[in-house]
């Protein structure tokens, strides 16, 4: 056994924050207590286990604390020693208490391990019970008019929208039963190909708009029925860890309306219903709503998830933090383009994106991102997929790890696109698409045998039309 400073300090901070007396301490006392548990590593880096039960690293360039997954090399971890950072701890880094209780669920995508049969069957029952309602009573609104056929009721959209909003990384197996049961309702094939459906992150705005439109039009019972259906769908989904955190948050936002229908009346005239829903989210679930109000923080957390998903590379002599930055660079280059040589005159979409991402990364990861994009001969380029395949050194050791890498890489891609205002590619990002190649021959879980009569023909898993393929420089980079 060796001393692991990061593990020991994390356990210590968790114990301190978990003490009921923590929330009674004055803010300055809490910040001082946390500072006494900061770590100093041999390279001079200062680390702090703080808010959201995650690690932060003090940036030597900008003097700010950045969310940053800790090093995994045993020598670094064993040489880490407690050392007050010598700078004030920002209030945002001091754990409030409830944030340590947040269940992060799973970062896996929906390729490899299928959505459990029990969940898909309960969702099927919800669709069968609500598909036949009158379109006049439940009209589509907003973005759902582009997704669904004109004769589809908004109850179907409410189930779909809940699934998409609750999904951590909505990359789905092309054969996923849960998607194919929506086939007859969709106005066009979903983006992706026969292997994977690359879907956008669900919009809480669009979901809430279904309910708010009915409430504003005077159809209160229809509005409450939609809110109840969203809560019921989320209740089904939370049995799967890939949905659980956001499903719990959505239940907390929508379910109170069933007992107190007047809760949002004050927000309806001014169009502030979405804000009213977010305000109902309890403190221990606020992290689940980060994409809605803090896209930069959301990007930081997904990049942290990506580093954790790459932990297996540490035993192969690589630094997961540098590898994550290199893979981020590969996806940025794949979407925005990269010129050769890297310093050709003129501006580029890549430079714009990188400039927007820099403030949300620490100096080491910024440097790795910069080098991977700017220098074609840099070793970090060796992490990039070639011919649509991951390098052998990055191949995940098993299906579970591959699914987590796929999910975190796709979530990171969607997060940086949202942060920078870049449209996400409908054909997927380069890195997640390469990870899929590790899963396409082992992506389906065995399903229990069941009588054919249990299925309705109109919600069968066939829906072949659903699986048609749909058709979509680094000239300069900002200095570090």
The model's pLDDT over 379-424, given as tens digits with 9 standing for 90+, comes to: 999 999 999 999 999 999 999 999 999 999 999 999 999 999 999 9
DSSP 154: H
Mean pLDDT, residues 151-177 taken together: 95
Partners of 82 in beta bridges: 39
- What number of other Cβ atoms are within 10 A of residue 475's Cβ? 18
Each residue's pLDDT tens digit, 56-85: 999 888 889 999 999 999 999 999 999 998
**Is residue 17 located within the same domain as residue 131?**
no
Is the distance from CB of 173 to CB of 110 less than 8 angstroms? yes
Each residue's pLDDT tens digit, 228-242: 999 999 999 999 999
**What is the torsional sign of CA 443, 162, 428, 477?**
negative
- What number of other Cβ atoms are within 10 A of residue 252's Cβ? 19
CA angle 77, 80, 84 (to 5 degrees): 145
Cα separation, 365 vs 351, whole angstroms: 16
Of 41, 74, 101, the position where a domain reaches its end is 101
Q: Is residue 459 part of a domain?
A: no
**Is residue 122 located within the same domain as residue 253?**
yes
**Is residue 315 located within the same domain as residue 269?**
no
Cα separation, 195 vs 111, whole angstroms: 9
Mean pLDDT, residues 301-327 taken together: 97
**Is residue 213 located within the same domain as residue 308?**
no
Each residue's pLDDT tens digit, 292-305: 999 999 999 999 99
Q: Look at 365-374, 396-405, 453-462 and tell me which has the smallest mean pLDDT.
A: 453-462
Q: Is residue 465 part of a domain?
A: no
Report residue 446's pLDDT band, with 50, 70 and 90 as the boundaries.
low
Q: What is the pLDDT of residue 142?
A: 86
Cα separation, 186 vs 53, whole angstroms: 40
Q: Is residue 86 part of a domain?
A: yes
Assess whether pLDDT exceeds 60 at residue 369. Answer: yes
Q: Phi first, then psi: what are they for 110, rounded to 5°?
A: -105, 40
- The H or E element containing residue 87 is none
Assess whether pLDDT exceeds 80 at residue 448. Answer: no
Assess whether pLDDT exceeds 60 at residue 132. Answer: yes
**Is residue 306 located within the same domain as residue 432?**
yes
Strand order in the sheet with 46-50: 65-67, 54-58, 46-50, 39-40, 81-82
Q: What is the pLDDT of residue 470?
A: 35
Which has the closest alpha carbon to 174: 153, 159, 189? 189
**Is residue 131 located within the same domain as residue 264?**
yes
Report residue 343's pLDDT band, with 50, 70 and 90 as the boundaries.
very low
Separation of CA 254 from chain center: 21
Q: What is the pLDDT of residue 455?
A: 41
For the entire predicted model, the pTM comes to: 0.90
Q: What single string gives the DSSP state of each residue in 225-260?
A: HHHHHHHHHHHHHTTSTTTHHHHHHHHHHHTHHHH-
**Is residue 45 located within the same domain as residue 122?**
no
**Is residue 144 located within the same domain as residue 281?**
yes
**Is residue 201 located within the same domain as residue 283?**
yes
Q: What is the pLDDT of residue 440?
A: 84
Domain that residue 146 falls in: 117-288
Place of tokens 């420089």: 473
- Counting the structural domains of the chain, the total is 3
Q: Is residue 450 part of a domain?
A: no
């Amino acid at each position: 056994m060796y001393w692991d400073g990061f593990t020991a300090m994390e356990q210590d901070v968790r114990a301190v924050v978990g003490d009921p007396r923590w929330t009674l301490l004055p803010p300055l006392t809490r910040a001082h207590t946390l500072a006494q548990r900061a770590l100093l590593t041999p390279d001079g880096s200062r680390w702090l286990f703080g808010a959201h039960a995650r690690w932060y690293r003090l940036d030597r360039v900008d003097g700010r604390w950045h969310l940053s997954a800790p090093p995994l090399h045993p020598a670094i971890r064993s040489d880490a020693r407690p050392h007050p950072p010598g700078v004030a701890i920002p209030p945002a880094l001091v754990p409030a208490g409830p944030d340590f209780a947040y269940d992060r669920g799973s970062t896996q995508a929906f390729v490899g391990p299928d959505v459990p049969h029990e969940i898909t069957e309960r969702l099927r029952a919800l669709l069968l019970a609500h598909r036949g309602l009158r379109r006049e009573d439940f009209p589509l609104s907003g973005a759902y008019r582009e997704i669904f056929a004109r004769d589809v009721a908004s109850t179907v959209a409410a189930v779909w929208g809940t699934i998409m909003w609750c999904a951590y990384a909505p990359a789905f197996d092309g054969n996923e039963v849960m998607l194919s049961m929506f086939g007859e309702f969709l106005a066009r094939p979903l983006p992706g190909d026969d292997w994977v459906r690359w879907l956008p992150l669900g919009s809480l705005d669009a979901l809430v708009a279904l309910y708010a439109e009915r409430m504003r039009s005077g159809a209160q019972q229809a509005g409450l029925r939609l809110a109840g259906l969203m809560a019921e769908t989320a209740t089904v989904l939370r049995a799967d860890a890939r949905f659980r955190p956001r499903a719990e948050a959505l239940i907390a936002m929508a379910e109170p309306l069933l007992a107190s229908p007047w809760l949002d009346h004050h927000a309806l005239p001014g169009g502030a219903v979405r804000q009213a829903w977010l305000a109902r989210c309890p403190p221990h679930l606020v992290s689940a709503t980060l994409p809605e109000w803090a896209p930069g923080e959301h990007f930081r957390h997904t990049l942290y998830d990506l580093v954790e998903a790459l932990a297996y590379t540490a035993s192969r002599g690589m630094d997961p933090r540098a590898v994550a930055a290199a893979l981020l660079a590969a996806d940025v280059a794949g979407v925005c383009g990269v010129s050769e040589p890297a310093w050709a005159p003129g501006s580029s979409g890549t430079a714009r994106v990188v400039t927007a991402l820099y403030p949300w990364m620490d100096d080491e990861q910024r440097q790795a991102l910069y080098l991977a994009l700017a220098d074609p001969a840099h070793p970090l380029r060796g992490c990039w997929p070639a011919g649509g395949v991951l390098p052998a050194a990055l191949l995940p050791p098993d299906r579970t790890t591959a699914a987590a890498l796929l999910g975190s890489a796709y979530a990171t891609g969607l997060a940086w696109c949202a942060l920078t205002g870049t449209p996400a590619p409908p054909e997927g990002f380069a890195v997640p698409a390469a990870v899929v190649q590790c899963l396409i021959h082992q992506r389906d879980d065995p399903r229990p045998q069941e009588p054919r009569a249990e299925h309705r023909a109109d919600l069968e898993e066939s829906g072949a039309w659903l699986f048609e393929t749909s058709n979509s420089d680094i000239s300069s980079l900002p200095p570090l």
